[in-house]
Chain A
Amino acid sequence: MKRFYIYITAFLLAACGSNMPDGYSSSDSYPSISPDYTDITIPGNIAPMNFRIENRGERYLTLFTAGNTKTAVRGDVVAPNRKQWEDLKREGNIDVQVFVKENGSWTGYKPFTMTVADDIDPYISYRLIPPSVESYERLSINQRDLTSFKEKVIYANSMVQQGESGQCINCHHYRNWETDNMQFHARQFLGGTIILFDGDLRKVNLKTDSTISAGVYPAWHPTHDYIAYSTNKTHQSIHTADYNRIEVTDEESDLILYDIRANAVSIIENDPDKFECFPAWTPDGLTLYYVSADYIAPFDKNRMNRVFLDSHTIKYDLYRKPFNPDSRTWGPSELVIDASAIGKSITLPRISPDGRHLMFSMGDYGIFHIWHRDADLYMMDLNDGSVRSLDEVNSPDVESYHSWSSNGRWVIFSTRREDGAYTRLYLTHMDTEGNFSKPFAIPQRNPDFNRNFMFSFNIPEFMKEPVTVSAGTFAKFIKDNDAQPVSFQTKKEE
């Protein structure tokens, strides 16, 4: 029997060897591959990085080498199987060389390396949405296992649709990357904020007489049972010819704090001459970062039109506000980055798990940077206050929503760099010095996936574990339960 295995192994090796080009000319350029996975740093637990070779040729061969492990994959679609991939990663960094046969002769392209680094949170969730304008019939919040290609719907708006009454679902969010505390909003039909709190579902209406809207952009407190929300009166308009096709602006926005146990909201910030938005907690839960823009205009029926006319001048700065979670008291707000002073506008502050770095998206104006091609990612070192543009990550197109992995080594962000219209998710690795590796598209089973897929990914969030509540349970709960009202509490200040 042992001999049999030896023969089989010898045969397979010979077969593999026979695929190798006997002679080839070397090219000093990288092969053209899609997605571009040349010289990237990948998580140790990532799914196979399938790619397509775009160089013209008759035959293709890709040789993966990691330590003593070698794997050859034939064809222009390079998709090593699970075992091959795991064997390679186990050995460490993976060198990849692509050979292309054209007009009878082989060319060996410049090898590239996939550096295997820290593991990543195994799951991400995102909202799938057409690059929409006003219609939103097809929306779902999905979760993806990054260690494989498995994807599952967490909840889809069609599940509770009835006749012409539909839902718009958005803003999924988790506490500390764990899914037994999560929330999302189901707007309109049977709407409410759906909160999974220590495994129990609740549906609440966060709108009170004292707040301008229900909760919108959430930030779950890391240590206490609070969720900070922005409240927004949001509108969108269309550019007749601009490359930034759509403009989304707030007519008003404030910040509130929802005390989950007390089922009550209180005001964090509600200056009528400021648009406060996008709350983000520090990991210790003692400071809330947010963005705010000054805007003074009468609250009359023309306010919305005025906001649109002025939209290019509305610029958001970065603020922070100390918070005592035990007494639920707030300190005074402090301006952290005066972006408007340099003609810029900050959104989406997110603090790294170690509390040292604050990443944000910055563009020329406004808050909804997914529609702003000038928007890039920046990072502030909270130790020394220095700010830098993440040039190694940014592209000429949009970089917007971003999330830190729970170990702080990975960032996932949304970008429109591939075609300017469809938002895609990219990963980048941060080393201990705060430098980022070349970003790359999350791997898909079909390397042409991004090119073919007609939905945008937005709000990517890492999760340590999958959401275990089924879509059906969410749907049934939403259908069977009315949104419970919340009470209003007065704000406590130090």
Chain B
Amino acid sequence: MTSVKGKKDKPAGLLSFRTVSDILALTFLWVLAFLAHKYPFIRIESKSLFLYDTDFLLESFRIPGGFLGWAGEFLTQFLHHPWMGTLIWVLLIALTVRLVRKTYPALCRSIWAAAYIPASAMAVYAFGIGYGYFLMKSTGWFFVPVLGTLYALSIVYLFGKIRGPMARYAVIIAATVAGYALTGAWALAGTLLAVLSLAANEGFRKAVPYMIAAAVIVLCVPPAMKYLYTTFRADEIYTVGLPLLDYKSQMPVRLPCFTVLLFMAIAPFIRSGLPTKLSDGPSTDGNSSASAGRPADRTPSAEKPSIGLHSVRPAVVGIATQAAIIAACLFSILAFSYNDLNFRTECAMSAAVDRNDWQEVADILKKAESSSAKSDERAYSARSSRILRATGQAETDTIIKKFDSRFYKPTRLMVLYKDMALFLMGKEADEMFTYRDGDRKQKSRYHIPMAFQAGKQIYFYYGMINYSHRWCIEETVEYGWNYAALQYDAMSAMIMEEWDLAEKYISLLEKTLYYKKWAAEQRKILGDREKMAAAEPYSKVLPLLCYDSRLSNDEVMIEPFLMTHFISDRTLNATPEFDRATMMWALRTQDIGLFWASFLNYLETNKPTKIPRHYQEAAVMYSALAEDTALSSLPFDKQISIGYEQFMNYTKTNPVRNLEESAYQYSKRFGKTFWFYYFFIRGQKTF
């Protein structure tokens, strides 16, 4: 397989199969990233910040590894267009695969699929983050593992290429000292892995001085340099630069990184002579045990039998090994990817909220409901048959509880987003109960209060400007400034006519790639109250600012706080919009007295020509419950009364023994009414 010129003859079949495999694998990653994780990635981008500004770059040097974070933030901005951001990510993964093969030729010549292992670990990292993205404290974290891996691989590769002890010591020192400043722990790992690779390739005895030097310098540089930096945690000196999660354990985000590093530690010691096609014999290529890019005949260990799978094996073992690695990579990517319908829906709704695309917000929820219709039906059938076989009430209750998770329910955040969107479109009174309600807990190991996730958005659009600002600040103090926080703080300042403050945020957004257009739009109305008041979204929010300020604290609970606000903070200056919001929250409380009080205010300020559907449903039902006939004088739709009668008759023919058991059955006929909400959606938990 070696030509007279020393160049390897590439077996055409092998190359083409590997190339095809590479293309397929990378395309798979790209498609998966783009299709399944598009909206989470958009949110990840909105929680990042990259400014085309020298100070922004210099700021990154205030922490070891900050430069890597800066580069990561630079690349993260392209997730604004998920196809582009994910393409860049996949191309970097491709580069990693290529560099792994160049760095560990002994392993990858025959087991070329081994290069997929680091790639799949990074895919697990990117696809498995889920709600963890809210808690990421390190900058540029999405791209940092792939960039860090590339850096560490480069060091190992470079170290394998250079000759002479002085040059090698120089690389150890430079790669660790400068590398620590630029990439943090990735530099430490790169140095250690480089000498480890040397030990594998040139023999342990020859590598000992370098290993000692590397160990000493890796141990000493962080403590020596830590006092040059004052903006990172002292307990992170050896891990700074790795992704940092605001959670009791760093394993969810660091395990994939450690997997990559572990692979790089083991890779140089594996000398595979496995044939990869049936015509191949065992590898006799001396280069298989050479260090990266170095001719084999200069390597002392080249004549030694290589360690590991070097004996003659049937070719099928080689192919099976490749296949097993590919299968394992594929399995790990799919198994450890976070794939939750509610999470994706929340991300999509949140992105639509930021775009002020209110109909889209509602439609996304509707789409999620529709997509689960069949599984709901299956769950209902399965549950019904199980209940029929149940021997007693206790068993029935157990079955109902067990099946609860199989019925689709939105999270409270989705319900809040949807209600808010409908309210801002003026549709809440006719449509808010036509969507599925619920309080499904977010499927996440992390407990992230809703206020942290969406406080800045929800409070802003409900006119609680100081609280929107509050959650911008709370979020940014913990996790750094981001595009979304700058936008909401800019809008908060605009609506409060704090023009100088708004200008500050706008001028920062003008230094971004994808938000400068938005900033330019804001600048057009900056300082002009009339223009601002007429522009979206201010025109929708300003009418809600008709309450007297009071000292308060939301206790990190958005929903009850908003409810209290709209119910308690009404003044004589209440606008029609404020009273509509009050009505909406009054309906949510399921409080009859509150409904009537709010309804009268609503009638007074809104003077509706037609009473919206849900108000009629509530009025009819509450009147019936109170046996009050005074409502007959109001211009109510007869169909509503008839519908309520049908509902009551249905309850007689289909008595409700257990709310959860009957909810699905009732929802099919009455699920879009206030009555269903009133009777079946009780005690919703908020977070």
Contacts and interface: CB of A to CB of B under 8 A. Distances in A.
Interface of A: 130-138, 140, 153, 155-156, 158-164, 237-243, 245, 247, 308-309, 311, 418-422, 446, 449, 451-452, 454, 470-472, 475, 479
B549 interface: yes
Given A158-B231, A238-B553, A240-B550, 6 more contacts: A135-B477, A138-B231, A159-B230, A240-B551, A419-B504, A475-B227
Given A132-B473, A239-B466, A472 B232 contact: no
A136 B477 contact: yes
B467 A159 contact: no
Contacts of B540: none
B569 interface: yes
Contacts of B146: none
Nearest to A130: B477
B474 A133 contact: yes
Contacts of B476: 130, 454
Given A133-B473, A134-B474, A308-B551, A470 B227 contact: yes
A446 B55 contact: yes
B501 interface: yes
B234 A131 contact: no
A240 B231 contact: no
Contacts of B467: 238, 240
A241 B549 contact: yes
Nearest to B503: A419
A237 B481 CA distance: 23
Contacts of B569: 240
Contacts of B545: 241
Interface in B471-494: 473-474, 476-478, 481, 493
Contact of B474 (A135, A156, A237, A452): A135
Interface string B224-235: 001100111111
B231 A472 contact: no
Contacts of B552: 237-240
A140 to B, nearest CB: 6
Nearest to A136: B477
A140 B232 CA distance: 11
A239 B550 CA distance: 5
Interface residues of B, number: 44
5 A-B pairs with the lowest CB-CB distances in the bound complex, closest first: A472-B227, A135-B477, A242-B549, A153-B230, A241-B549
26 contacts: A140-B231, A153-B230, A156-B230, A156-B231, A158-B231, A158-B232, A159-B234, A160-B234, A161-B233, A163-B235, A237-B551, A238-B466, A238-B470, A240-B466, A241-B464, A241-B548, A242-B466, A308-B551, A420-B498, A422-B501, A446-B54, A451-B504, A454-B481, A471-B227, A472-B226, A479-B234
Contacts of A420: 498, 500-501
B466 A138 contact: no
A189 to B, nearest CB: 11
Interface in B548-592: 548-554, 565, 569
B473 A135 contact: yes
A241 B497 CA distance: 13
Nearest to B496: A243
A475 B234 contact: yes
Nearest to A139: B477
A158 B233 contact: yes
A398 to B, nearest CB: 13
Contact of B477 (A138, A240, A419): A138
B235 A161 contact: yes
A162 B507 CA distance: 36
Contacts of B550: 239-240
A421 B493 CA distance: 10
B104 interface: no
A28 B206 CA distance: 79
A452 B549 contact: no
Interface of B: 53-55, 226-227, 230-235, 248, 464-467, 469-470, 473-474, 476-478, 481, 493, 496, 498, 500-501, 503-504, 507-508, 545, 547-554, 565, 569
Contacts of B504: 419, 421-422, 451-452
A137 B477 contact: yes
Contacts of A130: 473, 476-477
A145 B231 CA distance: 20
A238 B551 contact: yes
Contacts of B235: 161-163
B553 A237 contact: yes
A472 B493 CA distance: 39
Given A133-B470, A161-B233, A449-B55, A240 B547 contact: yes
A291 B476 CA distance: 35
A372 B469 CA distance: 17
A419 B230 contact: no
A262 B144 CA distance: 53
Nearest to A454: B481
A292 to B, nearest CB: 23
- Which of A158, A238, A240, A420 gathers most chain B CB within 10 Å? A240
A471 B230 contact: yes
A126 B291 CA distance: 54
A238 B478 CA distance: 19
Nearest to A244: B549
Contacts of A452: 53, 55, 504, 507-508
B231 A311 contact: no
A370 to B, nearest CB: 15
A71 B120 CA distance: 61
Interface centre among A135, A156, A449 (most CB of B within 10 A): A135
Contacts of B553: 237-238
A131 B473 contact: yes
Contacts of B501: 419-422
Contacts of A241: 464-466, 545, 547-549
Nearest to B227: A472
Contacts of A479: 234
Most buried by B among A137, A309, A475: A137
Contacts of A133: 470, 473-474
Contacts of A454: 476, 481
**Which residue among B232, B503, B504, B508 has the maximum number of chain A CB atoms within 10 Å of its CB?**
B504
Contacts of A421: 493, 498, 501, 504
B507 A451 contact: yes
A240 B466 CA distance: 6
Contacts of A140: 230-231
Nearest to B511: A452
Contacts of B465: 241
Contacts of B55: 446, 449, 452
B549 A240 contact: yes
Nearest to B480: A138
Contacts of A160: 234
Contacts of A422: 501, 504
Contacts of B233: 158-159, 161-162
A146 to B, nearest CB: 20
B498 A419 contact: yes
A419 B503 CA distance: 8
A247 B549 CA distance: 12
A162 B235 CA distance: 6
Contacts of B493: 421
B551 A239 contact: yes
Nearest to B489: A421
Nearest to B465: A241
Nearest to B507: A451
A240 B568 CA distance: 12
A446 B503 CA distance: 18
B232 A245 contact: no
A398 B357 CA distance: 38
Nearest to B247: A164
Contacts of A156: 230-231
A472 B228 CA distance: 9
A422 B500 CA distance: 11
A353 to B, nearest CB: 32
A406 B195 CA distance: 57
B632 to A, nearest CB: 40
